[in-house]
Amino acid sequence: MIFQNGRVFSEGHFQNVDVRVVGERIAEIGENLERQEGEEAVCIRDCMLLPGFFDVHTHGRDGADFSDAPAKELVRIRNSYAACGVTSLLATTMTMEEEYSKNMMKRIREAIEAESDGARIWGINMEGPFLGPDKKGCHDPQYLKEPDIPFFEELDACAGGHIRLIDLDPTRKGAMDFIRAYAGKKKFSIAHTGADYKTANEAVDAGADHVTHLYNAMNGLHHREPGVIGMVNDRPVWAELICDGLHVHPSVIRMTFGALADKICIVSDSLSAAGLGDGVYSLGGLDVYVNGKRAALADGTLACSVSNVFEECKNVMAYGIPMEQAIAASTINPAKAMGLENEIGDIRRGLLADMLVVTSEFELKEVYIGGKKLSVL
């Protein structure tokens, strides 16, 4: 298969090149490639060819949540993700009762390992239970706990070793030892915490290199108490940013890209209501009330989003961020953050042919996963 006559986003910028796919991977990129005998040609004139988008923090969409849906439903929504341009994701969990959490991990493992033409699930983002009760957000406080190595080992065994990212509050007792115990084996994200600047830096020294939904569920930036936000500016870490226009004001999104563009991973933090309408939905055993684009608990606490990364990338561009930066924050940045830059996140020779054909108005036209066109779009 060869993609011809379009603009290709490769290695951080647009190029007027053709792209050849052989099997599941990109085989060749170059100007005016000749079509081979019997080769399928895809004309993308007046369109752009982008890497598939990668959401490292999503709890679900289209009526299914990774914390409580049966495995067959989790397999089903892999196609729903792909249909909105998200070809890769981390299945993100919530804080649940211990035995329930073990079963949850087993269900997600089944969904990860199942055959599917939809989005790839590259592992689990374990958000909870090692979070701070003072910054719990929409996590059930009765199940929050201090980092616990034996319990984590049980969870990861149930997940078949698929836990890739562990979110935790570095101020909790034993957090630093927990990070050091798995540094280099698992990824760690500073999350749901009132940590100060010093503690956040200590967590990075121990092995953390990621921050969960920057600005949300943490102390705000103060000129004498920079906290986690100030640490992100100073250290080589990745920072998730929810760009639905509600969790973070567009002005702050502009400011953040201005300072930290190379570190940002756009995430949806979506729940099962994404792609559906208003109503009452469940998230981690708690009721979430959706009205328009806002999802909140009964007490008004802002919960997850009903967005997706493709939609948020468009939001970011509408806020005035250059297209190249917005696309990178949706593709290569999260791929690098998860150590997957040699598999996905870019259009380069040898990478998986997970790609999007997008119109000049940035409307999604076609989705390819492993060189195969998605039929449900």
* C-alpha dihedral (188, 89, 248, 282), degrees to nearest 10: -100
pLDDT for residue 377 is more than 80: no
Partnered with residue 28 across adjacent β-strands are 20
Q: For 183-207, what is the mean pLDDT?
A: 98
Same domain? 8 vs 153? no
Joined together, the tokens standing for residue 178 give: 């927990």
Same domain? 118 vs 77? yes
Q: How many residues does the chain have?
A: 377
pLDDT of residue 376: 59
Same domain? 314 vs 188? yes
Sign of CA dihedral 53, 59, 64, 66: positive
Residue 32 phi/psi, 5-degree rounding, is 50, 50
Q: Which amino acid is at 4?
A: Q
Same domain? 281 vs 363? no
Same domain? 210 vs 294? yes
Convert the pLDDT of each residue in 98-137 to its tens digit: 999 999 999 999 999 999 999 999 999 999 999 999 999 8
Q: Which domain holds residue 36?
A: 2-49+350-373
DSSP readout, 234-297? HSS-EEEEE-SSSSS-HHHHHHHHHHHGGGEEEE--B-TTTTS-SEEEEETTEEEEEETTEEE-
d(CA 328, CA 345): 8
How deeply is 84 buried, as exposed, middle or buried, from its count of CB atoms within 10 A (0-12, 13-18, 19+)? Answer: buried
Nearest-Å Rg of the Cα atoms of the chain is: 20
Convert the pLDDT of each residue in 32-85 to its tens digit: 999 999 999 999 999 999 999 999 999 999 999 999 999 999 999 999 999 999
pLDDT of residue 286: 81
Same domain? 120 vs 94? yes
pLDDT for residue 172 is more than 90: yes
Nearest to 147 by CA among 120, 119, 166: 166
For residue 175, what is the domain's CATH number?
3.20.20.140
Same domain? 271 vs 369? no
Higher confidence at residue 284 or residue 374?
Answer: 374
Catalytic residue list: 269
Same domain? 170 vs 272? yes
pTM: 0.96
Same domain? 42 vs 71? no
Q: For 306-321, what is the mean pLDDT?
A: 98
Assign 296 a pLDDT band (cuts: 50, 70, 90).
confident
Domain count for the chain: 2
pLDDT of residue 297: 86
Joined together, the tokens standing for residue 57 give: 């923090």
Q: For 284-311, what is the mean pLDDT?
A: 89
- Is the residue at 310 inside a domain? yes
Assign 287 a pLDDT band (cuts: 50, 70, 90).
confident
For 153-167, 188-202, 234-248, 288-302, which range has the lowest pLDDT when averaged over its residues?
288-302
Same domain? 27 vs 59? no
Instruction: Tell me what the pLDDT averaged over the chain comes to.
Output: 96
Nearest to 270 by CA among 81, 128, 116, 112: 81
Same domain? 189 vs 86? yes
